[in-house]
């Protein structure tokens, strides 16, 4: 890893080398293009916002992508499979159950710690020719022209600003994307007034590869199977409660989360480090500008209730790779920032992104509400979810990322 560029002309520059930016570079690697990834914060820094201690549930389409990219053996070695999902509503009768067996798949998804996934992705990237990783360095300005985009890059250890030009600039710099703003693309945002408190704990009983989602009056609580019989939790609490919950001592914290979840997994103990994330829905008003494109959270930031933000971003990666691969000439060259290519990407991604934003937002509002009519509706929904044929498999198809027209990588087909 270095903070200086080896050339000043690239085919593609990726702004942000987090979960999506690093995956994007690895996915594009077989095409033999000259690529730079500019990442502001080193992976091992405690400040790294992407590769942190959160646990992420990888969908089946993300699994297929990592398989096609040749990374799956390393990812699965660090991941825990989900064989069942148990969905319940605190204080109400009934629950829904989805199983891998019924769906005819070996697992509904896999849980991986972001920090561990980061080390897999970055060690693969480090060994690739043709990809420069500029880190710690950030993009501080952008100039867009008809033939190229120029990224102004400043390394942390230097006062010099390098102007790096490229055919295509990909913004993968997260939900508060400054590059998106530099491209002149605004985003619609709406705050949920909630924080996700995340960490891990030790339940008395084994999770047995089951993931639990429990809707409470404050919001959803997810308990995910991770390594060493521990459970990762994502606990949604109201904004004004987040600091109080973080400040609780371990015993009081365990007592509160236990009272929300119940004793299905026996008594909780040994809670690890906790962190809180403010929850905001964001959606960019468009996905492209001249010679530039948005992927991942810079395009859409979701509530974690559906565990889909990263998976949706990976489908952006797969679709953009397909568009670039299709345009590759026999000589191996491509104008990756060609306007028609970018338009194909934007049109392709519109439906999947809009559906998942609406679906996730709907889940938060329906299941987070204590109002009586909505409670009745969601009880019917929970029962209907299990009994009405087709409803559950449609839901599962979407959460596994297998609905709609799929690009090569999402089908597990290598780009080359």
Ligand X SMILES: Cc1cc2nc3c(=O)[nH]c(=O)nc-3n(C[C@H](O)[C@H](O)[C@H](O)COP(=O)(O)OP(=O)(O)OC[C@H]3O[C@@H](n4cnc5c(N)ncnc54)[C@H](O)[C@@H]3O)c2cc1C
Residues that bind ligand X (CB under 6 A): 15-16, 18-21, 38-41, 49-50, 54, 56-57, 138-139, 172-174, 178-179, 196, 198, 234, 277, 296-297, 304, 307-311, 313
| Residue 304 vs 407, nearer CB to ligand X | 304
Spatial contact of 268 and 204, defined as CB atoms under 8 Å apart: yes
The CB density around residue 95, as the number of other CB atoms within 10 Å, is: 17
Residue 383 Cβ, how far from ligand X at the closest point, in Å? 26
Residue 61 Cβ, how far from ligand X at the closest point, in Å? 11
> CA dihedral in degrees (232, 59, 180, 353; nearest 10)?
-120
Unique residue bearing structure tokens 């709406």: 190
Residue 210 Cβ, how far from ligand X at the closest point, in Å? 15
Q: What gap in Å lies between CA 123 and CA 140, rounded to an integer?
A: 26
| Residue 116 vs 334, nearer CB to ligand X | 116
Query: Pairing mode, if any, of strands 210-215 and 84-89?
Result: parallel
Residue 330 Cβ, how far from ligand X at the closest point, in Å? 33
Sign of the C-alpha dihedral computed for residues 158, 161, 167 and 171 taken in this order: positive
Q: Per-residue DSSP letters for 200-255?
A: EEEESS--TTEEEEEE-SS-EEEEEE-STT-EEEEEEEEHHHHHHHHHS-HHHHHH
Tell me which residue of 307, 285, 318, 283 sits closest to 297, measured CA to CA: 283
Residue 234 Cβ, how far from ligand X at the closest point, in Å? 5
Residue 23 Cβ, how far from ligand X at the closest point, in Å? 8
| Residue 96 vs 114, nearer CB to ligand X | 114
């Amino acid at each position: 890893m270095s903070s200086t560029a080896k050339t000043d002309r690239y085919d593609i520059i990726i702004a942000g080398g987090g979960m999506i930016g690093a995956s994007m570079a690895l996915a594009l690697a077989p095409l033999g293009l000259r690529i730079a990834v500019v990442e502001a914060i080193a992976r091992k820094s405690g400040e790294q916002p992407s590769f942190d201690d959160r646990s992420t549930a990888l969908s089946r389409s993300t699994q297929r992508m990592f398989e096609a990219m040749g990374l799956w053996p390393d990812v699965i070695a660090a991941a825990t499979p989900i064989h069942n999902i148990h969905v319940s509503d605190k204080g109400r009768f009934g629950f829904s159950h989805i199983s891998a067996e019924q769906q005819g798949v070996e697992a509904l998804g896999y849980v991986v710690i972001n920090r561990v996934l980061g080390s897999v992705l970055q060690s693969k990237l480090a060994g690739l020719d043709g990809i420069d990783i500029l880190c710690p360095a950030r993009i501080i300005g952008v100039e867009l022209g008809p033939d190229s985009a120029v990224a102004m890059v400043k390394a942390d250890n230097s006062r010099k600003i390098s102007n790096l030009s490229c055919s295509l600039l990909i913004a993968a710099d997260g939900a508060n994307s400054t590059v998106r703003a530099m491209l002149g693309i605004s985003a619609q945002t709406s705050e949920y007034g909630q924080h996700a408190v995340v960490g891990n704990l030790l339940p008395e009983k084994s999770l047995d590869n089951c993931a639990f989602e429990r809707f409470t009056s404050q919001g959803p609580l997810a308990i995910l199977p991770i390594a060493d019989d521990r459970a990762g939790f994502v606990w949604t609490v109201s904004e004004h409660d987040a600091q109080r919950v973080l400040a609780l001592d371990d015993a009081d914290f365990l007592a509160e989360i236990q009272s929300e979840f119940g004793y299905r997994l026996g008594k909780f103990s040994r809670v690890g480090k906790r962190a809180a994330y403010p929850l905001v829905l964001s959606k960019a008003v468009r996905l492209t500008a001249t010679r530039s494109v948005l992927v991942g959270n810079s395009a859409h930031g979701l509530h974690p209730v559906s565990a889909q933000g990263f998976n949706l971003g990976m489908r952006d990666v797969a679709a953009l790779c397909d568009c670039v691969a299709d345009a590759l000439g026999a000589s191996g060259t491509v104008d990756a920032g060609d306007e028609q290519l970018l338009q194909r990407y934007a049109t392709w991604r519109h439906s999947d992104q809009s559906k998942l934003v609406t679906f996730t937002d709907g889940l938060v509002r329906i299941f987070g509400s204590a109002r009586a009519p909505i409670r009745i509706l969601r009880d019917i929904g929970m029962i209907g979810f299990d009994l009405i044929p087709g409803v559950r498999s449609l839901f599962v198809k979407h959460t596994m990322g297998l609905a709609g027209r799929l690009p090569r990588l999402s089908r597990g087909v290598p780009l080359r």
